[in-house]
Amino acid sequence: MPKSGANLESLVQYIYQVMSDLQYPDIYVQRNASIVGKTNTKYEIDVYYDFVMNNHIHRVLIECKEWKNAVPKSVVLELSAKVNDIPKSIGIIVSTSGFQKGAIEYAENNGIDLISGGETFLLSKAIIARLGILLPNETVKNEPFWTIMEINNGVITGNYINSGQSAIADLFISKKVANEALLGYSKQGVVRGVDRHHLKILVGLAKLDNRGFNLFFFESNNCINIEPSVVEEFFY
The predicted pLDDT at position 168 comes to 84
The predicted pLDDT at position 12 comes to 82
The predicted pLDDT at position 139 comes to 62
Strands 56-65 and 89-95: parallel
The predicted pLDDT at position 1 comes to 38
The predicted pLDDT at position 140 comes to 61
The predicted pLDDT at position 202 comes to 79
Asked if residues 131 and 16 have their Cβ atoms less than 8 Å apart, the reply is: yes
Return the bridge partners of 65, or none: 95
Give the residue ranges of the chain where pLDDT is below 70.
1-6, 18-25, 53-54, 117-142, 158, 164-165
The predicted pLDDT at position 33 comes to 94
The predicted pLDDT at position 133 comes to 47
The predicted pLDDT at position 19 comes to 64
Return the bridge partners of 147, or none: 192
pTM higher than 0.85: no
Rounded CA separation 159/151 (Å): 8
The predicted pLDDT at position 195 comes to 80
Return the bridge partners of 226, or none: 213
The predicted pLDDT at position 126 comes to 55
The predicted pLDDT at position 25 comes to 63
Report which of 67, 118, 121, 123 is spatially closest to residue 92, judged by C-alpha positions: 123
Report which of 83, 74, 64 is spatially closest to residue 102, judged by C-alpha positions: 74
